[in-house]
Amino acid sequence: MKSEHNPARYSEMSKPRTADEVDASISAFHTELSALRIRHKLADVHVVVRVIVDRDGDDIAAFSIMHFGAIQEAEGMCAYAFANSAEARRRFVDGSKAAGQTSAA
C-alpha cells in the first residue's frame, strides 16, 4: 500500500471549511480523478474522502465515497483496503511498542 506522510500538509488540509467549500473541492476532485482514471486506463477506482466541515462553529468529520467502474467490485475493493489498512496499523502499533512508545504524543 502506498501512502503519503506529510504532517505539515495534513495539518493544512485538515482545517475546517464550509460545506460549500468542501462540496466544491469534492466535485473538482471527482472531475479530475475521472479524467485520470481514463488517461491511465484504470477500470475500477474506489475513493473514500474524509473532510472537516465547519457547521456553525462546530467541526464535524464528514465522509464522501466515489466509485468509478463496476459497482459490484466496490465491496471487495473496500474489504481489501480495510484488511491492508488494519495490517499497516498493526505493524505501526507493534513497532511503537517495541520502541517503548506508549502514546501517540
- Position 105 in a domain: no
Q: pLDDT at position 92, please?
A: 83
- Position 1 in a domain: no
Q: At 59, is the secondary structure helix, strand, or coil?
A: strand
Q: pLDDT at position 34, please?
A: 98
The Cα–Cα gap between 103 and 2 comes to: 25
The Cα–Cα gap between 47 and 89 comes to: 19
- Position 104 in a domain: no
- Position 87 in a domain: yes
Q: How far is CA 3 from CA 27, 84, 88, in A?
A: 23, 12, 10
Q: pLDDT at position 104, please?
A: 55
Encode the chain (105 residues) as per-residue pLDDT tens digits. 677 889 999 999 999 999 999 999 999 999 999 999 999 999 999 999 999 999 999 999 999 999 999 999 999 999 999 998 898 888 888 888 888 766 554
Q: pLDDT at position 62, please?
A: 97
Domain that holds residue 16: 7-98
- Position 20 in a domain: yes
Helix, strand, coil fractions of the chain, as percent rounded to 5: 55, 20, 25
Number of compact structural domains in the chain: 1
- Position 36 in a domain: yes
